[in-house]
Each structure stands twice: as C-alpha cells, then as structure tokens.
C-alpha cells in the first residue's frame, strides 16, 4: 500500500513503515501490513479499528448481553468475499452495521469490539486457517479454576469457539494479534498451535509495535530520521576485543547494543542506559565515533566507545528475553555483524581508524 495517502501523522508513519519493513524482512513467512485501507481510501494503522463498542441490546428483560449472543449476532450479518476491488479495505464496526454486510475481517473486528465492551481479554488475530486461507479470528483469554490462562478463538463465519490446542481448531498459523493500543507480531519458530505461547510480554516470542514502557516515545530529527545511540564496549584501553549481544528477534545472531533516544535524553545517556539493559555492563564512557546513518531503515545512530569495568551476572534483558553477551576480537565481530547487521560493521571500522589517529 505504498504511495497511498495515509491518515497517520508523518512521524508515526515513518516509524510504522520502519517497524513493518524490518519485521517482514526478518520473518517473510509471517509477513503482514500494519496498515489497512479505510472507507475513504486512506491507509490507517490497524489499531484504529479496535475499541470497546457496546453491543446491540438483545434481551427484552435483561440489560446484560452474553458473549454467545454477540457471536450469534455478528455471524448472522451477511458476508462478502474479498476481491481485487475490495482487498485490504477494512470497515469500522459502525460502518459494517450500517451496510449490514462485510468480510470475515470486518465481522471479526466487530466481535472483538463487542467483547472488549464486555470486559473480556480479547484481540483480533490475523493468521492462516482452514478453509479460509489468510483470515482473521477473535482470540480470547479465559482462566481455569487455578487461574491458568486458556486461549480460544472464535470463527465468526461459523460462530464456533475453539480451544487453540484442539486438533479440530481451524487456525494453522498466527501472524499477529491486535488490540486498540498495540500490535504483537508472532516471532516464534514453532508452528504447532499446541506449543504456541500467548504471553505477549515475552519479547523473544512476540515483537510489539509500541513499547509499553511510559518513557519509550521515539524521537526523530528534523529530517524524519529516528535518533538512536549505541556503544562499542571494549575490554581494555587496547581496544582489541568488543562485546556483542544476541538479537532479541534472532537469538542466534550478534549485534552491537543500542537503542532509541528518549525525550529530553542526551545520546551519551542513551548509550550508557542501553548497554546496561541489553548487555548488563557498566563502564567508562569515552569518545564518540560519530553519527552513522541508515537510509534504508531511516535512523541515525551516535556511537560511543565504553571501556567496561563491571559485568553483571544478571541484567534486565537476560532475565526478560534470555539475551546473551560475548567478547569477540575485532575481526571476529566484523564477521558476526556481516551475518545480521552489516551496517554496524562501520562502527568497528571507525573504531579501528580512530584508534590509529
């Protein structure tokens, strides 16, 4: 949907494009778009379609509407198949109710909105199912008597509820789940629904669009480049060994620790904070190697050198996502970065050059 007019503000559109492209490049078998076309032909983020919406009153003598009644109500609205003209267009629940017709996705959006109004734990799920192929379901989380979460999907076309571990469940693959504030992309390698985990707080299993931490607003410069900072952590002043960490989305790959600059934060502070969170090290911050531009992903990273003085046994990312760290010689680190983050090789090349001057 590139080139189409977008309803999102430019700064948000830049971030959405970057996040979506990076995810789809890393997980092409689970690719999806964070955008849909609305009824006036503009692209909008998928989260815009999800919000609590009071279901129609269905009981004459009781104001409470049950989830079963919501399911039946939605399933009775006529369906239309997607075609080339109608592809990628999503209707809001109000629009579908006014038209009294919609696609499986439109029906799933409506049921998700109704369930949210009933204070249920629910999400719109995009995935692959039988017999629809690429499609949408409504994911709900319930709890047994021991408070263990159990996950179900509703197929709006049949009004049937399935446990996701049921062998008769039509869901075969999960691309992402969506609510009104976030999108979580499935990055798990398992395909068996019985083994799939639905704990969206686990960064090694779900890649969220928006970081839920209150200070995680992304900062952009005047040209729309996201501002980042990173550290080349060296073992000694000789600068012959550097510390790399495993990627959160590809744990077998190694990267330079770094992240986004936060509001009212100096890049040097960002660099120090990120290496503590991602690598669990403390040290003496030294010279800046400069600002490195990545035009493909539209971000600029200021890179510093840090001489490590302390290595923690446990740190934030080691506990949260099992992130690992390892010392490499400069040449070995260059080889590792070539496999996953070739742009970061420039950091080390500049380190070597600056050491000689």
Contacts of 130 (CB under 8 A, 6+ apart): 170, 172
Q: 22, 121, 265, 277: which one is catalytic?
A: 277
Whether residue 234 contacts residue 242, with contact meaning beta carbons closer than 8 Å, is answered with: yes
Alpha carbon distance 109, 67 (integer Å) = 14
Joined together, the tokens standing for residue 299 give: 């971000």
Whether residue 121 contacts residue 107, with contact meaning beta carbons closer than 8 Å, is answered with: no
Q: What is the H or E stretch that residue 18 is in?
A: helix 10-26
Give the HSE-up count for residue 22: Cα atoms under 13 Å, Cβ half-sphere.
20
Whether residue 282 contacts residue 260, with contact meaning beta carbons closer than 8 Å, is answered with: no
Is residue 277 annotated as a catalytic residue, yes or no?
yes
Whether residue 240 contacts residue 284, with contact meaning beta carbons closer than 8 Å, is answered with: no
40: buried, middle or exposed (CB in 10 Å: 19+, 13-18, 0-12)? Answer: exposed
Query: Residue 113: which of 77, 71, 141, 72 has the closest Cα?
Result: 71
Query: Residue 245: which of 271, 277, 278, 202 has the closest Cα?
Result: 278
Catalytic residues: 277
């Amino acid at each position: 949907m590139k080139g189409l007019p977008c309803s999102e503000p430019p700064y948000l559109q830049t971030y959405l494009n970057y996040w979506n492209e990076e995810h789809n490049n890393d997980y092409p078998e689970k690719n999806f778009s964070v955008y849909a076309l609305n009824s006036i032909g503009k692209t909008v983020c998928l989260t815009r379609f999800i919000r609590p919406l009071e279901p129609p009153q269905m009981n004459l003598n009781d104001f409470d509407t049950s989830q079963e009644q919501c399911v039946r109500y939605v399933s009775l609205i006529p369906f239309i198949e997607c075609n080339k003209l109608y592809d990628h267009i999503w209707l809001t629940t109000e629009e579908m109710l006014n038209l009294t017709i919609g696609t499986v996705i439109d029906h799933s959006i409506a049921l998700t909105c109704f369930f949210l109004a009933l204070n249920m734990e629910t999400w719109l799920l995009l995935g692959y199912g039988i017999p629809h192929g690429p499609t949408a379901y409504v994911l709900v989380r319930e709890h047994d008597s021991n408070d263990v979460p159990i996950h179900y999907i509703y197929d709006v076309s049949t009004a049937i509820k399935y446990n996701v571990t049921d062998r008769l469940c039509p869901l075969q693959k999960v691309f992402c789940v969506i609510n009104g504030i976030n999108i979580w992309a499935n990055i798990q390698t398992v395909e068996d629904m019985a083994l799939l985990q639905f704990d969206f707080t686990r960064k090694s299993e779900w890649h969220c669009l928006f970081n839920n931490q209150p200070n995680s607003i992304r900062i952009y410069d005047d040209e729309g480049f996201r501002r980042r900072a990173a550290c080349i952590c060296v073992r000694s002043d000789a600068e012959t060994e550097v510390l790399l960490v495993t990627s959160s989305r590809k744990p077998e790959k190694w990267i330079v620790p770094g992240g986004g600059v936060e509001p009212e934060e100096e890049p040097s502070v960002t660099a120090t904070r990120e290496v503590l969170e991602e690598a669990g090290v403390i040290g003496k911050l030294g010279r800046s190697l400069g600002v490195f531009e990545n035009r493909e992903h539209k971000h600029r990273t200021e890179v510093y050198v840090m001489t490590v003085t302390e290595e923690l046994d446990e740190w934030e990312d080691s506990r949260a996502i099992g992130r690992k760290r390892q010392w490499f010689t400069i040449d070995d680190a260059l080889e590792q970065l070539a496999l996953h983050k070739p742009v970061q090789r420039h950091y080390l090349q500049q380190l070597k050059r600056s050491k000689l001057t």
